[in-house]
A and B are shown apart, each in its own frame.
Chain A
Amino acid sequence: GAGVSQSPSNKVTEKGKDVELRCDPISGHTALYWYRQSLGQGLEFLIYFQGNSAPDKSGLPSDRFSAERTGGSVSTLTIQRTQQEDSAVYLCASSFAILYEQYFGPGTRLTVT
């Protein structure tokens, strides 16, 4: 079946603008995760959703970051008032449920100029 897909693959934005990144998980997966990969911080967890439970937002670096998951499927990560330090590759993953094997999408490379 289809894997995790993300869009756009690349995004260049000016400092101060808002951006939205999209993730389509594997069909039937109830858990969805966002991670970020940057040169200085490596791969770090941002947020996860499990079914209808409240999301775990413990990894979000600031209140400029938010995410939602509509209908238990597609998720959108929103970064408001982007800063240069937000430049990174944003990776989405999904799994059958929490604690199950996670599968990653190709990522969105965000560049803030």
Chain B
Amino acid sequence: SQTIHQWPATLVQPVGSPLSLECTVEGTSNPNLYWYRQAAGRGLQLLFYSVGIGQISSEVPQNLSASRPQDRQFILSSKKLLLSDSGFYLCAFLWRYHGYTFGSGTRLTVV
């Protein structure tokens, strides 16, 4: 069965510090992978998606970037965090007609 792992679960980072969030998928190959952000009490905003190794599409221009160095690994990064980067970050993969399966999420607080 397909599973998705995301870490860390929570993170408190100072403004201006770097960020690296990692997501890995098991049990499937060449999945579509997605990074979403959810601000407190808000909906889900698509940040990046990837259909294969090295292929990244950006939905929102900002100081975040994404990379896919391996088929089942998706990384979200920032060189310098802003206060507005705080939120709940969710990685997801698409499994045909079974919809998205989300990771457990990373709650990021920038202080």
A is bound by B = no
A contact residues vs B (CB 8 Å cutoff): none
- List residues of B whose CB falls within 8 A of some A CB: none
